[in-house]
Structure 1
Amino acid sequence: MKYALAVMGLVAVVAIVSLWRVRYDVAIIGAIVILGLMVPVLVFAKLTRIAPKYFLGPARALMWGFVTLTIVTGACLFTAAAFRQPTGLYELMFANSAVRVPAPKPAPDLPPPEFVAQFIYRTNMLERTEFSTEPGRFPADKLDEFLTLSRLAYGIADKTNRAFQVDLTVKNVSREAVMLDLNERFFAMADDKGRNAELLYYCCAAKGNLLAAGEVRTVQLFFRDAGWHGKGVSSSAIYVRVQGLLPVVSASWKAPTLATAN
């Protein structure tokens, strides 16, 4: 009987330790299993007193088996808490015990500002001054089509901001789908004196999106006018610049400022 009490004591210790930060459903199942294991231990302990000749040997074997199982279980609980091994037990005890918080949904793309164009640049007013590409990824004879400046306009955005609208077209000129990485940091607008325009709006970011063969994606940006329209304009040219939109390493388009007569 004393062996049975010792085994039940060990099992109780392991049970108390295992309940720490374990999910409620796991704790309930564990308690049922432990109680179920205690029943045969107590039965055999009682039988050893009634008929020790027949039950003492099996009872001792059963108890030592429970002792071994308890030691192994305790060791696993300790290593799971201290070293996160075995991984499955650690995740069962700790990782899943925290309240699951749903992942935040990505913010939807904002609509573009209300824009009233006052001047639209003609094609012959736009000059591509730079187009450096990464070799080997796309057919060299089609790289010119990968990134183009499709529209540049000046006007009023949201009734208050004098701004430039920039539309760039990205086309997959390869025969296979490509992963598209679009980020506002790739795009800028500046004049020939190094003055940069403030980005008011950008659409649309893409990270790891697939662009099918021949598919076209439009990137739209609005930049606040940095003094490139009106009287007394000191700059003679503005540049739309793209850097790091691989396979385009860098690209630049030049357009005249919109100076008016005094």
Structure 2
Amino acid sequence: MRLRFSRGVITIAIIVIVLAVGISVGLFNLLKKTKPLAVKPEPHCTVRTPLGERYLDFEQAEISATIAAVAARRRLPERAVVIAYATALQESKIYNLPWGDRDSVGVFQQRESQGWGTKKQLMDPVYATNKFFAALEKVKNYRKLPVAEAAQAVQRSAGGYAYADHEPEAKLLAAAFTGRVPRAVHCWYPPGKKTPAPQPRTAEARKQLARSLGSTAVTSERRGWLIAAWSVSFAQKYALRQVGYAGATWKNDVELENWQTGGKAGNREVELS
């Protein structure tokens, strides 16, 4: 049985098709002219070394920089920093946690009831890191022990084997924050919306650096890059917009992903602005 359609039905169908095509073409052209909505990035830090790449938020970067600075003040080898990072990654993911198992708190989840210090002290990353390293230094031949074994000797954790899982990442972070790998730490944060923009608090930054590092003098290129990495990690906290060292400059520019070659800063001082 053959279906027959009247002229009116066919005409209506043609009109509907023409309108649909017209609307589709119009929408296509409109979308072509409309700029895509920009996704505003979150404040972040990127750590790059020959071992790979790792993204951190500013709290993690600040704590990582603090651990490296305290180790330098105590004249500890990079191996000690690797052990500290592996421990912090397992215990807190490098966050200064105000809670934990029973009375454990802080970066290393140290316990007041076990004599590590008061809760207020343990929530200070500089204090907590010094206590960790003081205990690590008492571990015989810790430099030659496997990372997990050395960390467990300090922490005495129920799952001490887990520290080993973080060794590759800990080595990457240690290479960057100790200054052994130059230009390894790059961060960005959204500039202040106030007019005028917040002024850099360079004096406060240097004072805080001194708490961790002691003398802020640049006595070697590696120490200079440690200070530079620390400064970039604390850039958001102290409204720093530029850090210069050894002919390279970090700028708080979302369009930049790395340090830029050039700048007035030499290798005798890290310049903050």
Higher RCO (CA < 8 A, seq sep 6+):
2
Structure with more helix by fraction = 2
Same fold (TM over 0.5): no
Q: Which bin holds the TM-score, normalised by the shorter protein?
A: under 0.3
Q: TM-score, normalised by structure 2?
A: 0.21
Structure 1 or 2, whichever has the larger Rg, is: 1
Structure with more strand by fraction = 1
